[in-house]
Amino acid sequence: MNPTSNEQEFRRKLTMYLDSALSKEEEREFLAEIKNSPTYVAHLQHEQSFREFLRQKISRKSVSPALIESIKSKINLNSRNS
């Protein structure tokens, strides 16, 4: 079953909203559009909860400046040899 264009548009806007990629006006419009749809509000709440769970459970490992410089130098060498 393929999602309808409305569902696809909702998912696109939902992702952009959660990624803070919408302007303030677009955010207001998005929230106004979905406020009367319990299904869409539930999707929003579910995604927010899931992202919060990930933030709490996953930590980014620090890398040394030496490793960063080593990777940069290798990238530079590879781009010069191409």
Give the chain's residues under pLDDT 50.
1
Residues 50-71: b if buried by 16+ CB within 10 A, e if exposed: eeeeeeeeeeeeeeeeeeeeee
pLDDT of residue 36: 93
What's the structural domain count of the chain?
1
Q: CA separation (Å) from 39 to 25, 44, 69?
A: 23, 9, 48
pLDDT of residue 82: 58
Residues in the chain: 82
pLDDT of residue 30: 96
Model confidence, pTM? 0.65
Question: What domain range includes position 38?
Answer: 5-81
pLDDT of residue 80: 66
Q: What is the DSSP letter of 48?
A: H
